[in-house]
Structure 1
Amino acid sequence: MNETIKISLFANGLDHPECVAVHKDGSVWAGGEAGQIYRIAADGTAWEEVAATGGFILGISFSPGCEWLAVCDSAAKCVWKLDPETFVLELFSKGCNAHQFNIPNYPVFDSQGNLYVSESGAFNEVKGKILKFSTDARAEVWHEGPFRFANGMALDKGERHLYVVCSWLPGVERISIGEDGSAGEREVYCTLPRTVPDGIAFDDEGNLYVTCYTPNAIYKISPNRVCTLLVDDWEAHTLANPTNIAFGGKNMDQLFTANLGRWHINKIDLGIKGLTLVSHQNI
């Protein structure tokens, strides 16, 4: 482990959580491999299972204002819509006319309330796509790809690009977003040889943090694309197949990591403020 980085156990006893997201009230949300959706108190002292789909929860994301939580379910091959106040769960989408979900992996909202969802495609096949859902219920394949297993995603500051983890590239690609919202130029942003990257998040300075399912590591990619190793846990006890990450905490300078290989969420006191998401305005 990097001794300069302080990592602590935030919540334990979850069912192999792959995803993590932070509500505007500071609570941390996660999902389990049997479809559980967890709400963890902002201080980490307690958690509760608030809903269950019976599937396998991959990525989750809050809409602007946290009116609802988008939940990707690989077993049910759909995106669910969860009300974070009432915990009522309803089906949001199984895809669009041009493509039905096979592995809906990760959702991202923009400031207008449009929802991007990565479609991984299939294991060991290059079939990944990006679907987009507008606020007026229009659904489309936003980018045909094909991507090498499209996984975690993030929008940069200003929403000029959508960044997409391609687990079997392995690395991160980015797609420019046109003024009309259409997909533009696609390029490889960075490669991470001999890794399986999974989740990403930006800090406020434009650094991109990438978690790796294997090895048990987190990388930091600077705005000029210099890659440094932030955390490396060869023992795989603290970081255990880390997947999705999210900034939170009182000052938005703590990084929460899900660990698919175990039962806990970590908290990293990074000391660097995360990029403010559309759901973070009131934290």
Structure 2
Amino acid sequence: MGSPREVLTGIVMGESARWHDGQLWFCDWGAGEVIRLEGSSPSVVARVRGLPFCIDWLPGGDLLILDGPGARLLRAGSLHADLSDIDGSHPWNDIAVDSRGNVFVNNIGYDFPAGPAPGLIAVVTPSGSVRQVADGLEFPNGMAVTADDGTLIVAESHASRLTAFDIGADGSLTNRRVWADLPGAAPDGICIDRAGAVWYAAVPNQHCQLVREGGEVLATISLPDGAFDCALTDDGRTLYALTADYANLFGGRTGRLFAIPLS
């Protein structure tokens, strides 16, 4: 495993790192932009009036953008789903899509940094229906779906754990369980490696850590600032991490993107 290599600087507040079609994508909350990394050059793919909290793709390839404060899930610039009937008062945070086209969206349940209050998960089905499928989460943050579409894993930042649910074909979530306890950590963004272990980014710990189900730590990568999200390349050989100075969020362009060779 190599040392982190700085790829980009000058990001306001980077989140939602995703590897898609051979390129690294992420959201810059402070700039209201969705950015794709082309080689070593950033390209603005979309601008959002509001905050582009998170991105993912439908099975057909359409880009989804979550306007968290606006309770809107956008598709090709138009409204894909209105989430306000579930919760229009608190920020929607992260999304994850399964291969059936079910879109899981979580809401932290309060206006950060005030709180805390219980959060929830909703599903937007391929037919366009929206319903709540889980509640009682302690600051739900990063989410990921396993390769077999069988499990949704969500980071509960205020509970210092990763939580798992079984996914039904209709997007129902059942069999809630602790996937891994993470004592002393507040997991933010996550991604799943090819062996089924989870990388999570941790802001106060200033690291990305790889854990196996049950909580065994397999690797730790220290970073110079708070780590907000991470993404793996398809071959699993490189981890990308988005960081920023947590004490100066939105106060300047302290955000950076790092690439870490894993093999």
TM-score by length of 1: 0.81
- Which of 222, 241, 263 is the equivalent residue of 1:257? 241
Shift of 1:160: 1.6
The answer to whether structure 1 residue 37 and structure 2 residue 34 are counterparts is yes
State the match for 1:16 in structure 2: 13
1:182-221 alignment runs, 5 A limit = 182-221=172-211
Shift of 1:115: 0.6
The answer to whether structure 1 residue 114 and structure 2 residue 102 are counterparts is yes
Residues 96 and 140, structure 1, Cα contact 8 Å, conserved in 2: no
- RMSD between aligned alpha carbons? 2.1
Shift of 1:114: 1.2
Alpha-carbon distance between aligned partners in 2 of 1:102 and 1:94, rounded to the nearest angstrom? 14
- Which of 114, 118, 121 is the equivalent residue of 1:130? 121
4+ aligned runs moved over 4 Å, structure 1: none
Residues 95 and 101, structure 1, Cα contact 8 Å, conserved in 2: no
Shift of 1:134: 0.9
Alpha-carbon distance between aligned partners in 2 of 1:57 and 1:181, rounded to the nearest angstrom? 24
The answer to whether structure 1 residue 161 and structure 2 residue 151 are counterparts is yes
Structure 2: tracts of 5 or more residues without a match: 246-253
Q: CA offsets, 1:217-239, max 9 Å, x none?
A: 11211245312451123xx2xxx
SS at match of 2:54: strand
State the match for 1:140 in structure 2: 131
State the match for 1:48 in structure 2: 43
Shift of 1:168: 0.2
What letter is aligned with 2:95?
A: P
Q: Give the fraction of aligned pairs with identical amino acids, expressed as a percent.
A: 22
Q: CA offsets, 1:38-65, max 9 Å, x none?
A: 1210x22x11223211322322212224
- Which of 228, 231, 250 is the equivalent residue of 1:246? 231
Shift of 1:252: 4.1
Structure 1: tracts of 5 or more residues without a match: 83-88, 272-283
1:268-283 alignment runs, 5 A limit = 268-271=260-263
Alpha-carbon distance between aligned partners in 2 of 1:69 and 1:58, rounded to the nearest angstrom? 13
State the match for 2:139 in structure 1: 149
Alpha-carbon distance between aligned partners in 2 of 1:217 and 1:231, rounded to the nearest angstrom? 5
Instruction: Decide which moves more: 96-105 or 180-189.
Output: 96-105
